[in-house]
Structure 1
């Protein structure tokens, strides 16, 4: 009052997490989830495995996610899909990754790893037409991606009559949490084009958000806060040298 300066009222900052999780997660049920997938059986005997295509921006963690799934079933850190940290795609060729089960057997699902998408014009990163060809199962194993010249029906690396096992059963879109706000319109348009084509083929689609620990300190301290955090949804292995049951539950679920 008068000439004295008023003392501001101390404001309590908003909590970085919700009072209750916005998605239920069976923490502690890693073994149950793992065994359910190990014992998964296909209803058609002629189909040996279902193919999951993993797409995303360069550096989003596509290959790391595939390794994370393999880590769960191997119970150790693996590097079947080579992952890079530079600004350009580390994956240059179309490659199928099998997930090993017990006694050296293979589980009935495989992952297709492809060159990452770039935000720039068509001179870098995977061409959208190549990704659509992968959805249809038309890319040959080992096909080398060319950002400016996608595969055509006349190429020897194009499968005109792909088998059911070559075709994609599920599209996984990988997005880095710490890059979402930086996505430009060109990249978004590429993602929309791919997702619309997957919808046209009636393919189920999943969105996985990686690198959430680099975005939310709350989750970095405690992974189980991932579904009470106001910022985050998913996380996969990043720099770990050992497996983690809570992280495995996120991947398996």
Structure 2
């Protein structure tokens, strides 16, 4: 497991583009999709034990994440992995709830300061305390990842799909690579709950991936099925495999983007 991490991030990995120290990955998507849980799951894989730095909540009525947060990952005292995740307030099903789409677009361009508290009723604008007017390449997003849970794929409202597509369009204009993660696959499919290695054998999950691909016009090889750490307290190789598969491609896509800058 540890060797798999090193193949991608490794003790010696640094972005080739010397303008940045860290590859910046932004997670976005509906409330309760598992964005914070994925961050904790990556942390758990890298530490080899359960981790919970990104706070989560089992109540999916509204977004538990309110601020623009950056998560770094430590590999040894005084040393960090060369990628960071940005967690963001989730989208809500109606047009007025959750993080404003325009705020997510600003985050893509590096204009949202760390710690900014999102306001569903008011978009961030230049001159506000949370607005970063001196955005550098390191502040900008290098990979955009949409996160949604499996059972929600078929229940995404037209308004939700519209919000996600708007963010995708903005990222495409900036040539930012985009991937997607479908979480809570064990809850959606009994066969996967029995054995996580059955992920890509599940017809039910394959249908979810295909539907999500059509909704967002994503390539199939850019959508990953992930079992987040939830009730596990010990490291699990099968769970790790789904997380590392997604993480590896996220990092590779981000590195390609930085090399083109």
When normalised by structure 1's length, the TM-score is: 0.85
Match of 2:166 in 1: 193
CA distance in 1 between counterparts of 2:236 and 2:43 reads 13
CA distance in 2 between counterparts of 1:196 and 1:234 reads 25
Match of 2:40 in 1: 67
Match of 1:90 in 2: 64
Tell whether the 8 Å contact from 2:14 to 2:21 is kept in structure 1 after alignment: no
CA distance in 2 between counterparts of 1:67 and 1:214 reads 18
Match of 2:124 in 1: 151
Q: What displacement does 1:245 show?
A: 1.0
Q: Secondary structure at the match of 2:73?
A: strand
What does 1:1-16 correspond to in 2, within 5 Å? none
CA distance in 2 between counterparts of 1:46 and 1:252 reads 26
Q: What is the count of residue pairs matched by the alignment?
A: 223
Match of 1:247 in 2: 239
Q: What displacement does 1:231 show?
A: 2.1
Q: What displacement does 1:148 show?
A: 1.3
CA distance in 2 between counterparts of 1:184 and 1:44 reads 39
Q: What displacement does 1:179 show?
A: 1.1
Larger proportion of helix: 2
Tell whether the 8 Å contact from 1:68 to 1:236 is kept in structure 2 after alignment: yes
Tell whether the 8 Å contact from 1:38 to 1:101 is kept in structure 2 after alignment: no
The RMSD of aligned alpha carbons is 1.2
CA distance in 2 between counterparts of 1:108 and 1:60 reads 25
Q: What displacement does 1:104 show?
A: 4.4
Gaps in structure 2 of 5+ consecutive residues: 206-224, 246-261
Q: Secondary structure at the match of 1:188?
A: helix
Match of 1:179 in 2: 152
| Structure 1 stretches of 4+ moved >4 Å | none
1:106 to 54, 67, 80: 80
Match of 1:202 in 2: 175
Gaps in structure 1 of 5+ consecutive residues: 1-29
Match of 2:6 in 1: 35
CA distance in 2 between counterparts of 1:224 and 1:107 reads 27
Q: Which has the larger radius of gyration?
A: 1
